[in-house]
Amino acid sequence: MRTRIGGWEFDHSKYDPDADVLYLSLGPPREGYGEETPEGHFLRFDEHGEFYGVTIIDAQQLMRTDGQIVITLPKREQVELSEDQFEFA
């Protein structure tokens, strides 16, 4: 499943229903580090500092309670995600 958020198109996704965490990445997931967003999610960067993914915490719960997920992406671009952009298993 491809997921477009702002100007980014994530081509790898994995949802962990037990933890309610959605992992999105540009290309295959790889080693790197994370930086927390103001909303409590995590941006993923590779060893060269290139942005490659996002970890969305409480993804399904946020969709149920708020009807959207707000996340600040690199360059401080804030976008809102609607429920029709995700498929929770």
pLDDT tens-digit readout, 35-60: 999 999 999 999 999 999 999 999 99
The separation between CA 7 and the C-alpha centre of its own chain, rounded to angstroms, equals 13
Who contacts 32 (Cβ-Cβ below 8 Å, separation ≥6)? 44, 45, 46, 47, 52
Residues 25, 59: contact at Cβ < 8 Å?
Answer: no
Which residues, other chains included, contact 66 with Cβ-Cβ below 8 Å and sequence gap of 6+? Answer: none
Token output for 42? 């995590």
Q: Which residue has the higher pLDDT, 2 or 53?
A: 53
The pTM of the full predicted model, rounded to 2 decimals, is: 0.78
Beta bridge partners of 14: 23
